[in-house]
Amino acid sequence: MRTQVAIIGGGPSGLMLGRLLEQAGVDAVIIERKSPDYVLGRIRAGVLEQGTIDLLDAAGVGARMHEEGLIHTGVDLAFDGEMLNINFDKLIGKHVMVYGQTEVTRDLMAARQRTGSKTIYEADDVAIHDFDGAKPRVTFTKDGVSHTLECDVIAGCDGYHGVCRASVPENAVTTFERVYPFGWLGVLVEQPPVAEELIYAHHARGFALCSMRSNTRSRYYVQVPGDEDVKNWSDERFWDELRARINPATAEALKTGPSIEKSVAPLRSFVAEPLRFGSLFLAGDAAHIVPPTGAKGLNLAMSDVKALAEALIERFIEGSAAGVDSYSATVLQRIWKAERFSWWMTSLLHTFPETGNFGRRIQRAEFDYLGGSVAAQQSLAENYVGLP
């Protein structure tokens, strides 16, 4: 087998990269280690920035998003039950869209099926070779049979635990990491959302988030210790804890029900530098992780693959290496700004046992400053809806 671009990973990054290359006439094969149903079963992101909305449109997969997605002109922040509305529309004339990562993935998969592009699902023992030399290639087994895919370029879109970044010699990559001492316990429920806007709540008992997927399906999170076992959390316990962390009127209005998904996600900030190693390029969660507080992970992945697709199209169609040469430095600038914002939102809204009562007073002062300063609200708004 031979292709121009071997894409490792069929999550949102790999699927969008494949779509953009296909539209431009660059040949790509996606190799994914799980099944399509498994990939669609991972409940993750919910909020799309304007840049992601535009990219889905440009890729010709935005129709259902515009029909079913919910436009959000702001978010609510809460501190010990006191509410503060941040209205993006009024502050900076922009908005975001609530449309689940699952749906984005489904739309991209459907487009790929329509055009008959090659995706190899349930590929085992995926390994990448000679990306520093003249003959890059990918080997894997499928149904017990070994295969080799020869290529010009390997795109590492295989997430944080993937094989691509792990295959780079240790001395060629620098990593920057902060592991938070807590995670998010998330519950998906077939009930209308408790409020019009998302509510990000700081409380002495820990952070809570009220989010949604549609007008009939809601997503809620509570901060838990990093090593928490989801088995310790009955639905009953989850709803009690959530109610205790949000303001009483919202708690009263909360519609609960049996959870249709429940899982714990650890929180981490992580960046690898650089993002190019010969003919291997990293994008999305393979390159960086943000804590989900700023809703940046999927959006950052989409802006990486937009830049990578442009660079690869320049190389394969126009014969210029300028884009691939500057890919890493260009996207890292935006990545670090999103890392900063996600770290800041996380620091403001979670409880950090080690910072004590001083830390909580600083958080309170930050919340009060935000409430009284249009400039501070604009800064939050422009970061949340996405920097250019």
Catalytic residues: 72, 200, 292, 296, 384
The site partner of 302 among ligand PHB, ligand RFL, none (C-beta below 5 to 8 Å per kind) is: none
CB of 39 to ligand RFL, least distance (A): 5
CB of 242 to ligand PHB, least distance (A): 14
For the chain, list the strands marked E by DSSP. Answer: 5-8, 28-31, 47-48, 70-72, 74-79, 82-87, 96-98, 119-120, 124-129, 137-142, 145-150, 153-156, 174-189, 198-202, 208-212, 218-225, 259-273, 276-277, 280-282, 288-289
Q: Which is nearer to ligand RFL, 47 or 61 (CB)?
A: 47
CB of 144 to ligand PHB, least distance (A): 37
For 208-326, list the strands marked E by DSSP. Answer: 208-212, 218-225, 259-273, 276-277, 280-282, 288-289
Residues with Cβ within 8 Å of residue 186, at least 6 apart in sequence:
43, 219, 220, 221, 261, 262, 263, 264, 265
What is the C-alpha separation between 165 and 282, in angstroms, rounded?
Answer: 7
φ, ψ dihedrals at 267, nearest 5°: -110, 135
The site partner of 293 among ligand PHB, ligand RFL, none (C-beta below 5 to 8 Å per kind) is: ligand PHB
Q: CA–CA distance from 172 to each of 167, 175, 273 (Å)?
A: 10, 10, 9
Q: Which is nearer to ligand PHB, 96 or 168 (CB)?
A: 96
Is 46 a residue that touches ligand RFL (CB under 6 A)? yes
Q: Of these, 31, 56, 91, 208, which contacts ligand RFL (CB under 6 A)?
A: 31
The site partner of 219 among ligand PHB, ligand RFL, none (C-beta below 5 to 8 Å per kind) is: ligand PHB
Q: Which is nearer to ligand RFL, 101 or 269 (CB)?
A: 101
Q: Determine the Cα angle at 50 with ends 367 and 197, to 5°.
A: 45
Site for ligand PHB in 295-334 (CB under 6 A): 295
Site for ligand RFL in 267-306 (CB under 6 A): 284-285, 292, 295-299, 301
The site partner of 157 among ligand PHB, ligand RFL, none (C-beta below 5 to 8 Å per kind) is: ligand RFL
What is the token pair recorded at 344?
């800041």
Is 219 a residue that touches ligand PHB (CB under 6 A)? yes
Q: Which is nearer to ligand RFL, 292 or 323 (CB)?
A: 292
What is the C-alpha separation between 172 and 177, in angstroms, rounded?
Answer: 17
CB of 200 to ligand RFL, least distance (A): 11
What is the C-alpha separation between 60 and 67, in angstroms, rounded?
Answer: 14
What is the token pair recorded at 47?
């909020």
Q: Residues 263, 137: contact at Cβ < 8 Å? A: no
Beta pairing partners, 270: 177, 289
CB of 317 to ligand PHB, least distance (A): 37
Contact segment (CB under 6 A) with ligand PHB among 34-42, 43-51, 128-136, 281-289 equals 43-51
Helix (H, G, I), strand (E, B) or coil at 151: coil
Q: Of these, 13, 52, 211, 269, which contacts ligand PHB (CB under 6 A)?
A: 211
Is 12 a residue that touches ligand PHB (CB under 6 A)? no
Site for ligand PHB in 283-302 (CB under 6 A): 292-293, 295
φ, ψ dihedrals at 103, nearest 5°: -70, -40
Is 46 a residue that touches ligand PHB (CB under 6 A)? yes
The site partner of 165 among ligand PHB, ligand RFL, none (C-beta below 5 to 8 Å per kind) is: none
* Chain centre distance of CA 206: 22
CB of 349 to ligand RFL, least distance (A): 14
What is the C-alpha separation between 88 and 95, in angstroms, rounded?
Answer: 6
Binding site for ligand PHB (CB under 6 A): 45-47, 198, 211, 219, 292-293, 295
